[in-house]
């Protein structure tokens, strides 16, 4: 059975966007091969990732079902196997970078994120779901630290684990009730029964297979990264910091530096970034002078996305109004009830005066 040309489009978003280029198909067309569907699946290096996805799906499905102890043990074994497989896969991908510390931390953070995410989805007590989500947030903040996004990592912990999760905990404790108020346990039956677990897991992991396939096969056709030297431009915009750091480096430097023909104050060559003073002195800039992560993010936020920043503020304001309006409840009292409340209040006040004197 031949696979139509259209079927290939499924695997490469860039090919969908740019139908003329056939970027992904180039190696196949050169060899002038026609693939049957079976060959297509087996010939790819995707078999292992697909099996890992399937095992993870099986694990999530088993974890969703209330089960006796033996089943639970089998579930744990399946989960460990699936996780190990996945980890081997991911480390195989990461190992090329050659940084073993990075790999170990990546393993720890990603495993704890996935594990507590599954536990969060399957746990039958909502409070524990929220607590497991805190672990997910902390683990993904660790992943962001590995990605050198320090500001976002700590903002994630402060805003997510500190503010949003506390709101969830408040509402959970406010609203959670047992079926029978006399029971000590606060567990409810609807928390223990999953709704359509088989079809949900099937849909979810079909999507995961698609994502994994696209990521693994498409990572070779990614656009080229920006030039890292672009980061120096931010320093040229931060004038006071630029001037003071340059004068710290070389107090005899004649400020300001001369711009190049393209209008750049900071120029680059094989040695690195340098500036040229008005009297022709060439000063090589230390990479230590590059703006920190927080400065870069802040500059990108206000320079590239000013309108979005304003809109985010408006969204937060509207959410605050909406929450206040929604949660407000006016209490309708009849005249008789008002009079009763008034007289009870009066009686209480006079009673307090009586006890004082």
Partner 1 sequence: MMTEFGSSALAGYLIISGILFVIGMIGFFVRRNLIVMFLCTELMFQGAAIAFVAIGRYLFDYSGQVMVIFILTVAAAEAALALALVVLLHRQRNTLDAEVYTELAE
In degrees, rounded to 5, the angle at the alpha carbon of residue 304 between the alpha carbons of residues 302 and 308 is 70
Residue of the chain from 322, 333, 337, 344 that contacts partner 1 (CB under 8 A): 322
Residue span binding partner 1 (CB under 8 A) among the ranges 1-9, 239-247, 248-256, 285-293: 285-293
Rounded-to-integer distance, Cα 64 and Cα 69, Å: 14
Question: Which C-beta is closer to partner 1: that of 35 or that of 299?
Answer: 299
Residue with tokens 């079909």: 206
The answer to whether the beta carbons of residues 90 and 106 sit under 8 Å apart is yes
Question: Which C-beta is closer to partner 1: that of 146 or that of 283?
Answer: 146
Rounded-to-integer distance, Cα 172 and Cα 156, Å: 21
Residues 6+ apart with CB under 8 A from 129: 120, 121, 123
Task: Tell me, residue by residue from 201 to 220, as one string, x for binding to partner 1 by CB under 8 A and - for no binding.
Answer: x-xxx-xx--xx--xx--xx
DSSP 101-161: HHHHHHHHHHHHHHHHHHHHHH-SSHHHHHHHHHHHHHHHHHHHHHTT-HHHHHHHIIIII
Rounded-to-integer distance, Cα 8 and Cα 129, Å: 40
- Smallest separation (angstroms) from partner 1 to the CB of 104: 13
User: Is residue 156 involved in binding partner 1 (CB under 8 A)?
Assistant: yes
The first and second tokens of residue 335, run together, are 């005249």
User: Is residue 226 involved in binding partner 1 (CB under 8 A)?
Assistant: yes
Tally: H helices and E strands in the chain: 17, 3
- Smallest separation (angstroms) from partner 1 to the CB of 340: 23
- Smallest separation (angstroms) from partner 1 to the CB of 299: 8
The answer to whether the beta carbons of residues 298 and 306 sit under 8 Å apart is no
Question: Which C-beta is closer to partner 1: that of 71 or that of 198?
Answer: 198
User: Is residue 10 involved in binding partner 1 (CB under 8 A)?
Assistant: no
- Smallest separation (angstroms) from partner 1 to the CB of 51: 14
Please give the residues from 89 up to 148 whose contact with partner 1 meets the rule CB under 8 A.
89-91, 93-94, 96-97, 106, 110, 113-114, 117-118, 120-121, 126, 129-130, 133, 136-137, 140, 143-144, 147-148
Please give the residues from 16 up to 75 whose contact with partner 1 meets the rule CB under 8 A.
49, 56, 60, 64
Residues 6+ apart with CB under 8 A from 138: 157, 161
Residue of the chain from 33, 76, 315, 342 that contacts partner 1 (CB under 8 A): 315
Question: Which C-beta is closer to partner 1: that of 255 or that of 305?
Answer: 305
Put the strands of the sheet holding 267-269 in their side by side order. 267-269, 272-276, 282-284
User: Is residue 197 involved in binding partner 1 (CB under 8 A)?
Assistant: yes
- Smallest separation (angstroms) from partner 1 to the CB of 245: 15
In degrees, rounded to 5, the angle at the alpha carbon of residue 135 between the alpha carbons of residues 132 and 137 is 115
User: How many residues at the interface with partner 1, by CB under 8 A?
Assistant: 100
Question: Which C-beta is closer to partner 1: that of 71 or that of 207?
Answer: 207
Residues 6+ apart with CB under 8 A from 343: none
- Smallest separation (angstroms) from partner 1 to the CB of 48: 12
Residue of the chain from 43, 167, 239, 343 that contacts partner 1 (CB under 8 A): 167
Question: Which C-beta is closer to partner 1: that of 118 or that of 246?
Answer: 118
- Smallest separation (angstroms) from partner 1 to the CB of 73: 22
Residue of the chain from 29, 31, 329, 353 that contacts partner 1 (CB under 8 A): 329
Task: Supply φ then ψ for residue 280, to 5 degrees.
Answer: 85, 10
Question: Which C-beta is closer to partner 1: that of 234 or that of 253?
Answer: 234
Environment class of residue 133 by beta-carbon count within 10 Å: exposed (0-12), middle (13-18) or buried (19+)?
Answer: buried
């Amino acid at each position: 059975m031949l696979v139509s040309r259209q079927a290939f489009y499924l695997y490469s978003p860039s090919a969908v966007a740019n139908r003329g280029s056939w970027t992904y198909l180039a190696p196949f067309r050169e060899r002038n091969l026609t693939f049957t569907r079976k060959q297509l699946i087996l010939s790819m290096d995707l078999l292992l990732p697909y099996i890992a996805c399937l095992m993870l799906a099986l694990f999530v499905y088993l974890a969703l079902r209330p089960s006796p102890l033996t089943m639970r043990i089998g579930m744990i074994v399946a989960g460990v196997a699936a996780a190990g497989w996945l980890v081997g896969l991911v480390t195989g991908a990461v190992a090329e970078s050659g940084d073993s510390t990075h790999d170990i931390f990546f393993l720890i953070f990603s495993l704890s994120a996935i594990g507590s995410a599954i536990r969060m989805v399957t746990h039958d007590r909502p409070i524990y779901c929220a607590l497991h989500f805190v672990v997910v947030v902390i683990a993904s903040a660790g992943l962001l630290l590995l990605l050198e996004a320090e500001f976002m990592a700590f903002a994630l912990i402060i805003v997510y684990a500190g503010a949003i999760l506390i709101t969830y905990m408040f509402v959970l404790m406010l609203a959670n009730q047992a079926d029978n108020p006399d029971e000590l346990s606060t567990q409810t039956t609807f928390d223990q029964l999953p709704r359509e677990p088989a079809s949900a897991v099937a849909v979810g992991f079909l999507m995961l297979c698609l994502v994994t396939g696209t990521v693994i096969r498409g990572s070779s056709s990614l656009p080229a990264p920006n030039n890292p030297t672009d980061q120096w431009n931010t320093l040229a915009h931060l004038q006071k910091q630029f001037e003071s750091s340059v004068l710290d480096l070389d107090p005899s430097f004649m400020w300001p530096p001369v711009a190049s023909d393209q209008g750049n104050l900071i120029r680059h060559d094989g040695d690195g970034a340098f500036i040229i003073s008005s009297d022709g002195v060439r000063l090589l800039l230390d990479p230590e002078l590059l703006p920190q992560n927080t400065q870069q993010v802040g500059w990108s936020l206000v320079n590239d996305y000013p309108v979005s920043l304003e809109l985010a503020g408006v969204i937060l304001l509207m959410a605050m109004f909406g929450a206040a309006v929604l949660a407000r409840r006016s209490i309708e009292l009849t005249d008789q009830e008002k009079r009763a409340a008034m007289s009870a209040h009066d009686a209480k006040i006079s009673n307090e005066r009586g006890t004082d004197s």
